Amino acid sequence: MKKVIMLITLCLIAAIVVPVFAADKPAIGKPTAPVVKEQTVTGKVSIVKDKEGKVIEVILTAGEVKYMVTLNEEGKKLGALDGKEVKATGIVHSKEAVKWITVTKFEEVKPAPPKEAPK
Domains of the chain and CATH, by start: 38-108 (2.40.50.140)
8 A C-beta contact, residue 101 and residue 69: yes
pTM for the whole structure: 0.65
Q: How far apart are CA 67 and CA 37, in angstroms?
A: 16
pLDDT value at residue 91: 95
11 pLDDT above the threshold of 70: no
Strands (E), 1-119: 38-49, 55-62, 65-69, 85-95, 98-108
63 pLDDT above the threshold of 80: yes
Q: How far apart are CA 92 and CA 97, in angstroms?
A: 13
22 pLDDT above the threshold of 80: no
8 A C-beta contact, residue 78 and residue 86: yes
Exposure string of 102-114, with b = 16+ CB inside 10 Å and e = fewer, is bbeebeeeeeeee
